[in-house]
Amino acid sequence: MKKLENFGLYQKSFEHDSCGVGFVASVNGEESHQIVLDGIEILKNLVHRGALGGDLMTGDGAGILVQIPHEFFVKVTSELGFNIGDKQTYGVGFLFLPKEKNLREKIEGKIEVIVKKEGGNILGWRDVPTRVDCLGDIARKEVPNMRQLFVSFPGFAQQELERKLYILRRRIEIEVSNRAFYIPSLSSLKIVYKGMFVASQFEGFYPDLNDINFSSPFTLVHQRYSTNTFPSWSLAHPFRYIAHNGEVNTLKGNVNHLNARLGTLSSEVFGEDIKKVLPVIIEDGSDSAIFDNVFELLVMAGRSIEHVMMMMIPEAFGNKFHISADKRAFYEYHSAFMEPWDGPAAIVFTDGIKIGAVLDRNGLRPLRYIITKNGKVVLASEMGVLDMPEEEILEKGRLAPGKMFLVDTNERRIKKDNEIKASISRQKPYRRWLEENRIELKGLLQPPGPVKVHSDSLVVRQKAFGYTFEDLNMIIIPMAENAQEPIGSMGDDQALAVLSDHPQLLQRYFKQLFAQVTNPPIDPYRENLVMSLMSFIGREQNLLEETPKHCHQLKLAHPILTNEDMIKLINFTEYNFKTCVVQAIFNTNNCINLEKAIEDLCINVEMKVDEGYSIVVISDKDIDKEHIPIPALLATSAVSSYLVEKGKRHLVGLIIQSGEVKEVMDYAVLIGYGASAVNPYLVFETIANLKEEKNLFKDKKLEVIIDNYITAVKKGLLKIMSKMGVSTIRSYKTAQLFEAVGLNEDFVNKYFKGTPSRIGGIGLDIIEKETLIRHGTAYNDNNPSQILESGGKYHYRVSSEKHLFVPEAIVALQKAVRSGDYFLYKEYSQLINNQNHHLCTLRSIFTFKNKKSIPLEEVENIEAIMKRFTTSAMSFGSISKEAHETMAIAMNRIGASSNSGEGGEDEERYNLLANGDNRTSMVKQVASARFGVTSHYLTNAREIQIKMAQGAKPGEGGQLPGHKVNKIIAKVRYSTPGVMLISPPPHHDIYSIEDLAQLIFDLKNANPKARISVKLVSEVGVGTIAAGVAKGKADTILISGGDGGTGASPLSSIKHVGIPWEIGLAETQQTLILNNLRNRVRLQVDGQLRTGRDVVIGALLGAEEFGFGTVSLVTLGCVLMRKCHMNTCLMGIATQDEILRRNFKGQPDHLINFMRFIAQEVREIMAEMGFRNFNEMVGQQDRIEFNKEIKHWKAKNLDLTKIFMKPRVKKGEVYFCNGNQENNFTSFIDNELIKQAVDVLEGRKENIKLFTPIKNNNRSVGAKLSYEVSKRFASKGLKDNNIYCRFKGVAGESFAAFLAHGITFELEGDANNFLGKGLSGGRIILYPPKDFISKSHNNIITGNVNLFGATSGEVFIGGMAGERFAVRNSGATAVVEGLGDHGCEYMTGGCVIILGSTGVNFAAGMSGGIAYVLDIDQLFDTRCNLEMVELESLASQRDIKFVYQMIKKHIVYTDSPYAKMIIDNWVEMLPKFVKVYPIDYRKAIERIREEEKAKESEVLTITEEVY
Amino acid sequence: MDRLDGFMKYNRQTAPYRPVSERIHDYNDINTYLVEQDIYKQAARCMDCGIPFCHSLGCPLNNIIPDLNKLVSQGLWEEALRRLENTNMLPEITGRICPALCEAACTLSINNSPVTIKQIELAIIEKGYKEGWVKPIIPKLENNKRIAIIGSGPSGLAAAQVLRMKGYDVTVFEKSFGLGGILRYGIPNYKLEKWVIDRRIELMRKSNIKFETDVNIGEDISYRYLKTRFDAILLTTGVGSPRDLQIPGREAKNIHFALDYLQKSNCFLSNEISLEDSISVENKSVVVIGGGDTGSDCVGIAIRQKAKEVLQIEIMPKPKEWNFSWNPEWPLWPMILRTSSSHEEGAKREWSILTKKFIKEGNKLCGIHCSRLEWIQSGNSSSLKMVEIPGSDFIIEADLVLLALGFVNSEYQKLIEDIKVDRDEKGNIKIYAKYMTSVNGVFAAGDVNTGISLVVKAIFQGRESAKAIDEYLSKI
């Protein structure tokens, strides 16, 4: 197997995978070869969920897991001359071995010895026949030698035999440590066949599978899509127990916790043998492989697979869920010793007898199933993976979030979620155990009381812990006042911590990680029911047992403790549960340095653990002039990792009591590195001081403001967790979801092991120095001023923190662009680039090398270079119409492009102005809220950009408050003036890399001429994500710096998330080159780009295009007030205020001048470097080096060599994009439809009716047809039903996406996810096949996330839909017979009528539109999220008539018997309807009606449809 | 003030001067003051900019203006005072007489009207005095090192306070009878009443800062002596040599330097000199040559002394008139026509006038021979070249002329001779990094170093030189 090499910034551990999974099973346990063939068929039909490597042949991996085909093995072994005995009495191992004969034989010999030592017999070896010729180049090179090993253990059977085989396998794995050696499976029950294939290559490769004797009662399958292209044979799924479509976001925390628990592991069934399996986890493996390792251990120790799955992937069990008390107790009990393995997941799992599937708590992966009359179950990521006669089908369903599904071939029946969980939850008296043992301190977490303020020393202590006046005003006061994290705007141009001249708190060197592409962030506000801050802290018991003592721990509702909580806790001594305090301070007078102090601290804490304390408080409360605090983060991480190493971490809860903690980031790092809870005593003192002595917070009580502050921290923590897709604090703890920037390897390895830190930097000595400076300044007797420093992190202050944009630079730049004077521009660029005095960014410490200057005239001209420039995405809404259009005009004049941002675009702008100017944004953004994304919008783009993340707040959504949504904004966003608009954190149609590939596919169809670009934000591993995106066939990838701008974002996100683009871009370039993907995808970069030098550095690191955001605004008048979020922009740029907008003085020429200046400066540097044309320069990473003249005390420690490593390419290949993505995008069906409808499209014919069968691999059907319509007829489309298409079969994903007005799609059959995505006026009709026997409203007919971002049109669904129906619908009208969780989420307009049940969290974030729900059991209000909506019955005739008519229409279209029944019983049914009416929307509608009435009272007619 | 949109709600409002008809009859403060409620609103107009140009490019002291505005708008006056005092050692002075470069640089000056920063500053410090929050300095630790400061102008006073805070034993030497230098002797009372200075001096005395007046170092006390008694010496002697106008008739009586005129006027008012020793212009036709601030101060005094008429002439062309509330040259100090309080009081002004000769009757002045100028663009540079308009000669009748033509170099002093410090070509004392002169342990700050400049810049230099002295002495 190929060694996955690390190169430059690329590391194999960054890889992600995702995919299609499924199984087919015979409920009665009957083995058949057909089941195996069915499995392979499913794999083939999931092939579009996988991906191909750089050779376009090598798949990322595929595999199957089956019950051991006994008959088959009897046959083949007897041919080989040995006897394997009876069914399930022997073990079969599938082995990947090295190709070299000697090595292989050596390993085999070793294995035989181990088998004997364990008391087993070798029955024989078998070479597995393979046909390598059907593989791709990459896979073929790496194909291992495959052999099967047959062993027996006399006297062992069933569970014992399996356990024996497990121990054997672990011993072999440990003792034969060779990279080219791997055991896919070794079991008496099941066997895995897998490899680096795409599904179609699979059956050809393993002839075994075609043998008629090769039979099984079930087949579990997996098709992999990996972000990297060094897929390894061993990382293909399935593993021994599971196949996983998803990602474990909290892996590092889970592994850390588990490794600690190994210290006290014991098991009756294993006895002494438990030692042989240690360490349980093979850390080299993928997240799924590690999950499998732990799953296996827990199953082997005696728990059932369902039980283990419930422990590791618990469903959400917060109070908002109406679930059984026993089940809630089960989950709570287990959370005391196992944290969730959190992340999106669709897992299929089996122990060889039972086979099941489970979804994560948020349902972020799809799983659909069908059950047939004759007892076959087919479950897969999509519907339609196996052809099945409709009349055979008994039930069509889907797994709901957190739910489980199981086929028990022994008991010969299907077990659904309720049954499984009820029996597991009651197998032990968990509820009673909890009640008797759980500790909840009375009064703990009650409203806080008075706080003692030591005002004489307050300022000094604040200074010692790094407080500034700015921290009070911008962070602490707003949090205490509003119970919200403070908001800011624009980017972060403060110097990196490692380049700052001032001492920095340690956490400033850390950046939060966030989810992009491979897993979705969660919405912590609208979907907070899946999130939890609850945790247990204290002493954990043996993982492999279950006793009442296991939950004898302290339960905390959230991790922030008040000063009173601390007193209570420390004084609490009952039930053998003790707490002690250890001081984390040191005294330099005693010649103790920081290193020694940390050592002492670790030993002290360990002693306390050994003495039996359940909780240790690490405190810096006792600081004074002589006693210096150990940085809180350092103390936490050092102690926590020390205890992990000693195997004692799980025996104690760590509470950090620190004065350093102020903002949300401080809490996040502490918890992320091991704190169970935090007591920010100095914040409380500060707040009390502000209230009592400064007289702030006038009418609020102290306990209220402290409570507000705590609430703000809680919200902030939820937000930080959710942006990584983590839903519980239990799994966030110690998950280390951070990246360090500017800390050296020794330091990180010692105290923050496992945290990526890729450019070296400072170590403990400087950290100590910074701490001492801070302390020294605070306690300096010579410094009389009893006030805090002003600050300078957020707002510029002279002689404080450096910022990239100094005031002089702004003045010079504006003068330059207004006068067109290049010399003035050079003054400006000198101010920015001045590298010896103005170190702010990484690039400021770079210098060029190997210069070979050429005459300037020989360099490519300005015009050509400017075409590579773009203005970064800024939505109309965040900035004014004037500013937005000026940028578009300027960029279009020079043949470059501007970016629409996420707010849609007024159609008006597609018309040229009288002077020929074009106001169209050439780049159109598609963001999570899909505002204004219609077929027509997409048709008018030259490039479509999918915004996965934004530098200022990656992983977060946003909201535009109602008062900013004026008429024109509402128009382009297809919403209602005055109604708040929410952008969700995730794209609800992108929960995984294969979903992104699907969206790219959708957009390529929606506009076949546009380039598709994907915007990512720089973080560790962005290169591998980019590789995945390249494989998903994006044309451009944008790497944004973490410092990029925003119109509004929490300050902590602006500051602490995302890393400099220099690292991310270099990593991306290296990874793409190494994967042979670079030449087909263009790279763009943005993030605080300012000068020509920045462009050249970007180019050398791999970018060929460049985005300018903030600086473009500065050319148009922006002076960095940083008030974009307040609507008070004095320059008329970031405001919608009519009066302020008149202040806008920017001219297209100003921006054009700037672009010309930049291009000219680029040319000058190119001439100096010796580059004639731009492409020559791209990717020449080795032409940059560290500027050795820089002697900055911190910066000089950086090691940038990884950034400057240039991978080698094959001769003749290049470092830039010189090709295209292979274009196999166009959907076959659409081309046919377009051909047949050409007469209508060309206006020669009024209308046409078409028919075609359809399959699940026909995806995005309708998008391209709509493009043809929009191109010709603009947004109004055709007349109703002008193109009428009938389909029969199972439609693939994104059926009828962006369907334009005048097109009707009628589908008899089933649909998959994303039906009607971006619906743009068309009509969709869906009903079950005529021969389907079950009731429509009880069966799932379409998948998840239907009608996402629909803007208009009609939909009639004769059956149930999955999760998130009509998310962000802003105008479509739909009738559906039932739906899953999160229905109508974020809806802003349109209307949905639901004739059946709904899942939970209905109407979350629904700010507009109306839903009518037939609430049969009158429990709808318990499932509805009532935060923004009111529920009422249908009172007005208008409502009644409307609903009645829509149902009638539904009957006409779908012939639904259920709907008929409702109409037949209308009198009884009507009172059961509930109208869901958003509060703001009602007000807005009423206001609009009033206005209309006032305006045109003479023509007042009540229209039927006002929506 | 969490919304920060005060500028959209409130207009800029400053307190008017007292009516001309009233104020020209006395030398008292011409200002009136806003009530506290109005000050809150004015402070709330501050937008708390991401880049506060007022603080960074405007204020030479780098007063952290947004913080002050914020605190005032919250009603946290004492905290505002502490923050103001941290950067500005004489806010009651700058709050009265600073031209307020900060307001020119205020972001609201781009297209609105600036925050009334100066007025807020004055309100903070005056409230501080009123409430008793302005207190003598009590250093945490006395360090027993001695500093001599020569000159009690703004630079010296600022430095003295900073050094005292750091625990130094500070003595300020002043050659005049009264303390304050230019503040006391150069600025008319109606702009700065002298009790304001006395109040500060009193506070400084209570802080144990020693003052030695009427002592001319170099003559009354030798440098050598000083050197032995003090650990460091700071020269803040200011500049004293006015630029002269060497044209025929210059020797006539009744031609005075502006500063002499102002100084004598102030001295007379404080009873330091008698009427005979002062310069009175009562009933005279006064011509002030020089259109700057000093000239304008002369105008104000002359009017109060009941001159028959006052004319101010300037060689440079008339700056552009600008009647808008915003700054056309933001964030720089704009070159626009400024009308001071004195001009409102009844002076005439003329520009582009070349003074060629003083006309005498005997040795008594009776007129000025002038001609008119045209200023033309010279070549491609932006500087202007003056051309005399042929035949434009004319005569201005004048009984008394005041020369307000700026200053050329620092006044010659024996002390400076003795110390033998390096000086630049203009005669200013050269400082090297960190305010030290070419002589170890001798520092210089203020006009003596920079040449004639603003009071606020002198305070800045005083503050920074004190820090430099502290750093220097801490290292020894």
> Is the CB of A782 less than 8 angstroms away from the CB of B143?
yes
> Is the CB of A807 less than 8 angstroms away from the CB of B165?
no
> Is the CB of B5 less than 8 angstroms away from the CB of A1128?
yes
What is the domain class of B244-405 according to CATH? Answer: alpha beta
The values of phi and psi at residue A684, to 5°, are -65, -40
Does residue B41 carry a pLDDT above 50?
Answer: yes
3-state secondary structure A1225-1262: CCCHHHHHHHHHCHHHHCCCCCCEEEEEEECCCCCCCC
Distance CA A1187, CA A588 (A): 35
Model confidence at A1504, in pLDDT bands (50, 70, 90)? very low
**Is residue A1217 annotated as a catalytic residue, yes or no?**
no
Does residue A369 carry a pLDDT above 80?
Answer: yes
Q: Provide the CB-side half-sphere exposure for A8 (13 A, CA).
A: 26
A490 touches chain B (CB under 8 A): yes
Does residue A378 carry a pLDDT above 80?
Answer: yes
- With a pLDDT cut of 90, the percent of chain A lying above it is 77
Span A725-749, mean pLDDT?
94
> Is the CB of A1130 less than 8 angstroms away from the CB of B112?
yes
> Is the CB of A785 less than 8 angstroms away from the CB of B52?
no
> Is the CB of A1126 less than 8 angstroms away from the CB of B107?
no
Does residue A836 carry a pLDDT above 70?
Answer: no
Interface test with B, best of A455, A457, A472, A787 (most B CBs within 10 A): A787
SS3 content of chain B, % helix, strand, coil (to 5): 35, 20, 45
Please tell me whether the interface predicted TM-score (ipTM) of this complex is above 0.90.
yes
Interface test with B, best of A1130, A1140, A1142, A1144 (most B CBs within 10 A): A1130
Q: Where are the alpha helices (DSSP H) in B143-211?
A: 154-165, 182-185, 194-206
Quote the CATH superfamily of domain B146-240+408-474: FAD/NAD(P)-binding domain (3.50.50.60)
Model confidence at A796, in pLDDT bands (50, 70, 90)? very high
Question: Quick one: closest CA in A to B53, which residue?
Answer: A807
Interface test with A, best of B5, B59, B64, B330 (most A CBs within 10 A): B64
What pLDDT is stored for residue A52 in this prediction? 65
A1122 touches chain B (CB under 8 A): yes
**Encoded tokens for A225:** 């899509």
Give per-residue pLDDT as tens, A418-466. 999 999 999 999 999 999 998 886 654 555 667 788 888 899 999 999 9
What's the Rg (C-alpha) of chain B?
23
What pLDDT is stored for residue B378 in this prediction? 75
Span A1149-1158, mean pLDDT?
98
Chain A closest CA to B61's CA: distance in Å? Answer: 10
- Fold for the domain defined by B2-20+29-131: Fumarate Reductase Iron-sulfur Protein; Chain B, domain 2 (1.10.1060)
Give per-residue pLDDT as tens, A1293-1339. 999 999 999 999 999 999 999 999 999 999 999 999 998 888 888 89
Model confidence at A162, in pLDDT bands (50, 70, 90)? very high
Q: Which of A1320, A1331, A1417, A1325 is nearest to A1369 (CA)?
A: A1320
Model confidence at A1498, in pLDDT bands (50, 70, 90)? very low
Q: Provide the CB-side half-sphere exposure for A1249 (13 A, CA).
A: 2
Span A499-526, mean pLDDT?
93
A796 touches chain B (CB under 8 A): yes
A1437 touches chain B (CB under 8 A): no
Least confidently predicted of A7-11, A318-322, A666-670: A7-11
- With a pLDDT cut of 70, the percent of chain B lying above it is 97
> Is the CB of B110 less than 8 angstroms away from the CB of A694?
no
> What is the DSSP code (8-state) at residue A1301?
T
Chain B closest CA to A879's CA: distance in Å? Answer: 17
What pLDDT is stored for residue A57 in this prediction? 67
Q: Is A661 helix (H, G, I), strand (E, B) or coil?
A: coil
* Beta strands at B364-377 and B353-361: parallel, antiparallel or unpaired: antiparallel
Least confidently predicted of A198-207, A862-871, B34-43, B392-401: A198-207
Model confidence at A1357, in pLDDT bands (50, 70, 90)? very high
Span A499-507, mean pLDDT?
95
Maximum C-alpha span of chain A: 99
Span A1379-1383, mean pLDDT?
94
Fill in the amino acid letter for B165.
Answer: M
Interface test with A, best of B59, B65, B67, B77 (most A CBs within 10 A): B67
Q: Where are the alpha helices (DSSP H) in B210-292?
A: 223-229, 258-269
Distance CA A253, CA A649 (A): 12
Question: Quick one: closest CA in B to A795, which residue?
Answer: B50
User: Which residues from A are below 8 Å from B53, CB to CB?
Assistant: 807, 1119
Strand partners, A1430: A1477
> Is the CB of A795 less than 8 angstroms away from the CB of B50?
yes
Q: List the domain boundaries for chain B.
A: 2-20+29-131, 146-240+408-474, 244-405
**Encoded tokens for A721:** 């967790």
Interface test with A, best of B69, B102, B111 (most A CBs within 10 A): B111
Fill in the amino acid letter for A509.
Answer: Y
What pLDDT is stored for residue A1497 in this prediction? 47
Give per-residue pLDDT as tens, A1397-1426. 999 999 999 999 999 999 998 999 999 999
> Is the CB of A807 less than 8 angstroms away from the CB of B53?
yes
What pLDDT is stored for residue A1222 in this prediction? 75
Give per-residue pLDDT as tens, A1444-1478. 999 999 999 999 999 999 999 999 999 999 999 99
Distance CA A490, CA A1045 (A): 4
Does residue A1506 carry a pLDDT above 80?
Answer: no
> Looking at the partner chain, which of B4, B86, B111 has a beta carbon nearest the beta carbon of A787?
B86
Distance CA A1264, CA A935 (A): 9
Question: Quick one: closest CA in B to A691, which residue?
Answer: B76
What pLDDT is stored for residue A1496 in this prediction? 55
Q: How far is CA A606 from the centre of its chain?
A: 37
Catalytic residue among A19, A840, A1118, A1285: A19
Does residue A1226 carry a pLDDT above 80?
Answer: no
Q: Is A407 helix (H, G, I), strand (E, B) or coil?
A: strand
Distance CA B236, CA B25 (A): 35
Distance CA A245, CA A364 (A): 10
> Is the CB of A1119 less than 8 angstroms away from the CB of B112?
no
A1123 touches chain B (CB under 8 A): yes
Span A878-894, mean pLDDT?
96
Distance CA B43, CA B7 (A): 9
Distance CA A1503, CA A324 (A): 48
User: Which residues from B are below 8 Å from A1139, CB to CB?
Assistant: 8
Question: Quick one: closest CA in A to B62, which residue?
Answer: A798
Does residue A1 carry a pLDDT above 60?
Answer: no
A79 touches chain B (CB under 8 A): no
> Is the CB of A1120 less than 8 angstroms away from the CB of B48?
no
Does residue B3 carry a pLDDT above 70?
Answer: no
Fill in the amino acid letter for A1234.
Answer: I
> Looking at the partner chain, which of B52, B74, B112 has a beta carbon nearest the beta carbon of A795?
B52
> Is the CB of A1119 less than 8 angstroms away from the CB of B53?
yes
3-state secondary structure A248-282: CCCHHHHHHHHHHHHHHCCCCCCHHHHHHHCCCCC
Give per-residue pLDDT as tens, A1245-1288. 999 999 999 998 899 999 999 999 999 999 999 999 999 999 99
Q: Which residue has the tokens 């394997």?
A: A84
> What is the DSSP code (8-state) at residue B57?
I
User: From the CB of residue A684, how many other CB atoms can be counted at a distance below 10 Å?
Assistant: 23
> Is the CB of B167 less than 8 angstroms away from the CB of A782?
yes
What pLDDT is stored for residue A1375 in this prediction? 98
* Beta strands at B169-173 and B210-212: parallel, antiparallel or unpaired: parallel
What pLDDT is stored for residue A16 in this prediction? 67
Model confidence at A1503, in pLDDT bands (50, 70, 90)? very low
Q: What is the mean pLDDT of chain A?
A: 91
Q: Which of B191, B233, B1 is nearest to B96 (CA)?
A: B191
**Is residue B445 a contact partner of residue B461, using CB atoms and an 8 Å limit?**
yes
Chain A closest CA to B19's CA: distance in Å? Answer: 35
CB–CB contacts below 8 A, A to B:
110
One fold for B146-240+408-474 and B244-405 = yes
> What is the DSSP code (8-state) at residue A30?
-
The values of phi and psi at residue B114, to 5°, are -65, 160
B170 vs A281 pLDDT, higher one:
B170
Q: Where are the alpha helices (DSSP H) in B367-451?
A: 414-419, 447-450
**Encoded tokens for A1221:** 């993505």
Q: What is the mean pLDDT of chain B?
A: 93
User: Which residues from A are below 8 Å from B115, CB to CB?
Assistant: none
**Is residue A454 a contact partner of residue A689, using CB atoms and an 8 Å limit?**
no
End-to-end CA distance of chain A: 60
What pLDDT is stored for residue A1507 in this prediction? 32
User: Which residues from B are below 8 Å from A963, CB to CB?
Assistant: none
Q: How many residues does chain A have?
A: 1507
Question: Quick one: closest CA in A to B162, which residue?
Answer: A784
Q: Is B396 helix (H, G, I), strand (E, B) or coil?
A: strand
Does residue A186 carry a pLDDT above 60?
Answer: yes
> Looking at the partner chain, which of B8, B331, B470 has a beta carbon nearest the beta carbon of A811?
B331
Give per-residue pLDDT as tens, B120-168. 999 999 999 999 999 999 898 898 999 999 999 999 999 999 999 999 9
User: Which residues from B are below 8 Å from A1123, CB to CB?
Assistant: 4, 47, 49-50
pTM of the model: 0.94
A1139 touches chain B (CB under 8 A): yes
Q: Cis peptide leading into B331, omega within 30 of 0?
A: yes
